[in-house]
Structure 1
Amino acid sequence: MAGGAALAAVVMLSACGAKTDAAGSSDEAAKADVSGDTVKVGLLNSLSGTMAISEVTVRDSLKLAIDEINASGGVLGKKIRPISEDGASDWPTFAEKAQKLIKEDRVAATFGCWTSASRKAVKPVFEKNKSLLFYPVQYEGLEESPYIFYTGATTNQQIVPALDYLKSKGLKKIYLVGSDYVFPRTANKEITAYAKANGMTILGEDYAPLGSTEFSTIANKVKASKADAVFNTLNGDSNVAFFKEYKSAGLTAKSMPVVSVSIAEEEVKSIGSQYLAGQLTAWNYYQTTAGAANTKFVKAYKAKYGADKPTSDPMEAAYTSVYLWKAMVEKAKSFDPEKVKAASDGITFDAPEGKVTVDGASQHIYKTARIGEIGTDGLIKEVWNSGKPIKPDPYLKGYSWASGLS
């Protein structure tokens, strides 16, 4: 089932079963089991399917944070017990597993999801049960939820800075390539609106099904467009096929650079640096980001999972999210979601990406934008940053060109 169709089915089921669902749940808040000396949390990631290339390492970084916190005494005197579930790159499965974690396992919070389709699928589950989800991946914005904390970048912390960077380099003729689901289509509407207001031209816009491995036609269309640059919102292992076809078409980072917003160090390793060297990425963190907190994080991750295992932005945002939840719980002196939310505003953490602060009003966090260039060694080196953390603006209220998008 295509991502869009699957998502529509989930939304329809949610709308038709406002009071109960297949599991017999109700609109009442789910109560976490905190009676013993442990507190359970859910880890909800694709451990199989097209998104496993990206999400397995996010699960691993969540486990690292939990191990570190447990080693230092846990949270409110309780050790954290992770319950891991496989969303299997399938949006209805994400919704089913979210329901299980909340109602059967009675977790205090859940950490995970990657694609916007998976997040959209579980959003009504967390809202109905009044349970917390910490979502660690950059996304298209235009969303807030009282039961989701967004620890990845929203639009004005990633996509807009990437466009500003292209514009500053005189790259004004852009071709859009993305996976066919929520995030790329919404992001490209925002990119098109930005382009119209900033003297840029969108020469083409193509989508491929999530998991697609056929990109020869798209690569040839991109080449024929004579664009200055490509803005890439492909997700998962489709990027492997796309960049191989890109090189086969004779396109290079020098002749037509690609800026990607879903390729981090783990994907670079899977695709191969010979296909990506010189290409650009837009994130808020790289393994090479300077700072003592990142040095510690990278060392700990490699010690646990292997010296050849890279760290990446979504992994770092997931790792950070566990520490933010811990700080919220300790400030609230409670695992109760309502009290945790009330305590969230202004919570800070010296994260591997730098200092982050929770904006309680939007439940997003302040993040520093970074543009990086992929090296032949597979690492990404920062070539520009925003200088300071950017206040989250998920609905792009601070940009006149974005009026009407939401």
Structure 2
Amino acid sequence: MTLRLGLIFSTTGSYAALGQSAMAGALGAIETLHRRGAPQIMPVIADPRGDMVAYECMTREMLESGVRHIVGAITSWSRKEMIPLLERHGGLLWYPCPYEGFESNDHVVYLGASPNHHVVPVTDWIATQGMRRAFLIGSNYVWGWETLRLARDGLTARGIEVVGERHVPLGAPTPAHILDEIRDAAPDCVIDSLIGPSNTSFLQGLAAHPDRPPIQVLSFNQSEADLAEIGPAANGLVSAGSFFEANAGDTLCDAARRHAPNGRVSSFFATSFAAVEILSAAVRAAGTDDPATVFRAAAATPAVTAMGIMPIDPVLRHAKLTPRLAIAKDGRFDIVNSAAHPVAADPYMTAQSAGRQRPAPGPHRKLRVVK
């Protein structure tokens, strides 16, 4: 049986580097599986260019043409545009990107990092470093809003003051006045939840004044996909992720050299590669490409992937992943902290909320004002 597999990634547009890395991972897996003698996979490729209307149109066209499985979407905005169509047509999305949690849909398999894989390690690390003042900056859509909301909760619970929060339109450069505001606030650290040109311009702008004291920057999603584009301005940045190039074996490195425009393995590349491996193994085990049957097969028998074994929760539909922290240096990431074993996703943050002590409300608590 030949499996027609939809690949929907924005390989052009404002966050093209992420889409190119993810697309390369999926194509690298298809090629690798073919060489191993696995059943044929025929990719059906679409580039929505970061346009949400195009995501909807291209998803509909794929599903109406008989495609039943899609590996794709970079942003949560695009994923949420696709879900109603997946529900209507009975398709299944294999989502390979880190996201903000608080979702579990019967037509999605969540293979990227959840907030307990990225937000929690970052806020824990800040607390262990004795930092007391944090500034938050993110892209102005659901990923930025929700990850920074969770970061604010986590920091506040640890007694760390949030001295400011700003959001930048998706795809826009970070304005100079926000950089000035951050410097004036003199935080110990900045949590950066920006993507694309906003992130590049922010890091380069923040590093453009070597005469000022350096500010520690931490990211929930910085990867090798666009690290070289940022250049020396990324040095010292701490990033959370489920996978870095340092974790990659020969299979992923060889595939990246053949397919990735920058030749690098990123979490986007590796997770898209693993998504195709898991799907291929589940289709063989199920003997059909029926999405519900394939998902049950994938959850019943964890596949061995280039990222390792990735068990999928049959109820929450999220993969177990290994949370890691890494520091950028000269275009590479050095891993400085890693969980001892894969950790179950906690998309609704129930485990964290149960153990969290929130400050008692008092007469001087202030309303949060978002400008």
Contact preservation (8 Å) 1:41, 1:110: yes
Cα distance in 2 for residues equivalent to 1:383 and 1:251: 28
Corresponding position of 2:20? 56
Change (3 A) 1:295 1:72: closer
Q: What aligned pairs does 1:188-337 form with structure 2 within 5 A after superposition?
A: 188-250=148-210, 255-272=214-231, 274-289=232-247, 294-305=249-260, 309-337=263-291
Equivalent position of 2:9 in the other structure: 45
The size of the alignment, in residue pairs, is 357
**Moved beyond 6 Å, runs of 4+:** none
Where do 5+ consecutive residues of structure 2 fail to align? Answer: 358-371
Contact between 2:101 and 2:348, CA under 8 Å: does it hold in 1? yes
Is 1:342 aligned to residue 296 of structure 2?
yes
Secondary structure at the aligned position of 2:278 is classed as: helix
Q: Distance in 2 between matches of 1:170 and 1:189?
A: 21
2:144 is paired with a residue of what secondary structure?
A: helix
2:46 to 82, 85, 88: 85
SS of structure 1 residue aligned to 2:311: strand
- Rounded to whole Å, the distance in 2 between the matches of 1:93 and 1:251 is 45
Check whether the contact 1:219–1:249 (CA below 8 A) recurs between aligned residues.
no
How far the C-alpha of 1:134 sits from its partner, in A, is: 0.5
Given that residues 280 and 372 in structure 1 are in contact (C-alpha distance below 8 angstroms), is that contact kept between their aligned partners in structure 2?
A: yes
Given the alignment, which residue of 49, 56, 79 partners 1:119?
A: 79
Cα deviation 1:81-120 (Å, max 9, x = unaligned) = 001001110112111111111112x113100101111111
Looking at structure 2, the residues matched to 131 and 123 of structure 1 have their Cα atoms a distance apart, in angstroms, of 9
- In the alignment, what sits opposite 2:350? 397
Output the amino acid matched with 1:223.
R
Q: Which runs of 5+ in 1 are unaligned?
A: 1-36
Deviation digits for residues 189-231 of structure 1, max 9, x if unmatched?
1111112222121110001101112431111111111111111
Query: Aligned pair in 2 of structure 1 residues 304, 235: CA closer, same or farther (>3 Å)?
Result: closer
For residues 123 and 235 of structure 1, the distance between their equivalents in structure 2, rounded to whole angstroms, comes to 22
Counterpart residue type for residue 61 of structure 2: K
Residue aligning to 1:30: none
Contact 1:134 1:151 survives alignment (8 Å): yes
- State how far apart, in whole Å, the 2-side matches of 1:323 and 1:303 are: 18
Q: Tell me how far 1:177 sits from its aligned partner.
A: 0.6
Structure 2 CA distance, aligned partners of 1:137 and 1:103? 25
CA contact (8 A) 2:324 2:337 kept: yes
DSSP 3-state at the match of 1:171:
coil
Which amino acid is the alignment partner of residue 92 of structure 1? V
DSSP-derived class of the 1:88 partner: coil
Secondary structure of the residue aligned to 1:364 is coil
Q: Partner letter of residue 334 of structure 1?
A: T
| AA matched with 2:238 | L
The question of 1:184 aligning with 2:138 is answered: no
Q: Secondary structure at the match of 1:84?
A: strand
Deviation at 1:346, TM superposition (A): 4.2
Instruction: Give 1:335 shift.
Output: 0.8
SS in 2 for 1:55: helix
Q: Alpha-carbon deviation of 1:299?
A: 2.3
SS of residue matched to 2:163: strand
Match of 1:6 in 2: none
Worse overlay, 316-325 or 235-244: 235-244
Helix, strand or coil at the partner of 2:164: strand
Distance 1:250 1:48 in 2: 33
Q: Which residue of 2 aligns with 1:387?
A: 340
Q: Distance in 1 between matches of 2:258 and 2:55?
A: 30
Secondary structure of the corresponding residue to residue 335 of structure 2: strand
TM-score after normalising by structure 2: 0.91
- Residue among 119, 130, 148 paired with 1:170: 130
Distance 1:190 1:353, change over 3 A: same
Amino acid at match of 2:50: S
Q: Name the CA distance, whole Å, in 1 between partners of 2:300 and 2:182.
A: 44
Aligned pairs for 1:14-53 within 5 A: 37-53=1-17
- One-letter code of the match for 1:384? N
- Report if aligned partners of 1:294, 1:351 keep a CA contact under 8 Å in 2: no
Q: Distance in 1 between matches of 2:162 and 2:300?
A: 39
| Aligned-pair CA distance for 1:130 | 1.2
Counterpart of 2:148, as a letter, is N
| Structure 1 position 305, deviation (Å) | 4.7
Distance 2:115 2:58 in 1: 28
Deviation at 1:386, TM superposition (A): 1.5
Please tell me the residue identity of whatever aligns with 2:338: N
| Cα gap change, 1:352 to 1:162, in 2 (>3 Å) | farther
The verdict on how the C-alpha distance between 1:85 and 1:304 changes in structure 2, with shifts beyond 3 A counting, is: closer
Aligned equivalents of 2:209, 2:85: Cα separation in 1? 44
Distance in 2 (CA, whole Å) between partners of 1:47 and 1:297 is 20
Match in the other structure for 2:29: 65
3-state DSSP of counterpart to 2:166: strand
Contact 1:369/1:389 (8 A) holds in 2? yes
